[in-house]
Amino acid sequence: MNPFFIVHTTKSFEQASTDLQAAIVAQDFGVMAVHDLGKTLRSKGIDFPEDCRIYDVCNPRKAARVLMNDITLNLALPCRISVFTEGHQTRIGMIRPEGMLQTLSSDPELMEVARDVESATTAIIEAAAS
């Protein structure tokens, strides 16, 4: 299975970014931080032609279940969803939580949480892209 989930959208970068924030809230997640990677690179004098915003998102209840089971998994949290352009096309994507967690843990309870998170974050991306 592809470790990435990426959806193409006809929306502008700015519209997709706005719609992503609304979709995150609709799925009971919160935005912890937004990293405007494109802007940061350009501010450092790098000729970077694409736009890229990375959203650190979290559902506190899901995160708590993971951390109470294995605190070292804090290294894999929060989830990250990116809005980016590639050749003038807007994309929204993430690394699949379930696949990532499978490489870090074999605990069945955590796999259940990862499936729930992946279902919710996939819905967030699809809603923002449509």
For 18-38, write each residue's pLDDT tens digit.
999 999 999 999 999 999 999
Model pLDDT for residues 10-21, shown as the tens digit of each residue:
999 999 999 999
- Cβ neighbours for 84, distance < 8 A, ≥ 6 positions apart: 13, 38, 50, 51, 52, 53, 90, 91, 92, 93
User: Rounded to whole angstroms, how far apart are CA atoms 8 and 3?
Assistant: 16
- Backbone CA torsion sign across 10, 13, 14, 18: positive
Model pLDDT for residues 86-124, shown as the tens digit of each residue:
998 999 999 999 999 999 998 999 999 999 999 999 999
- pLDDT band of 1, cuts 50, 70, 90: confident
Model pLDDT for residues 42-65, shown as the tens digit of each residue:
999 999 999 999 999 999 999 999
User: Rounded to whole angstroms, how far apart are CA atoms 115 and 80?
Assistant: 16
For residue 49, the model assigns a pLDDT of 96
Nearest Cα residue to 59 out of 35, 25, 95: 25
Inter-CA distances, 104 with 55, 73, 123, Å: 22, 8, 24
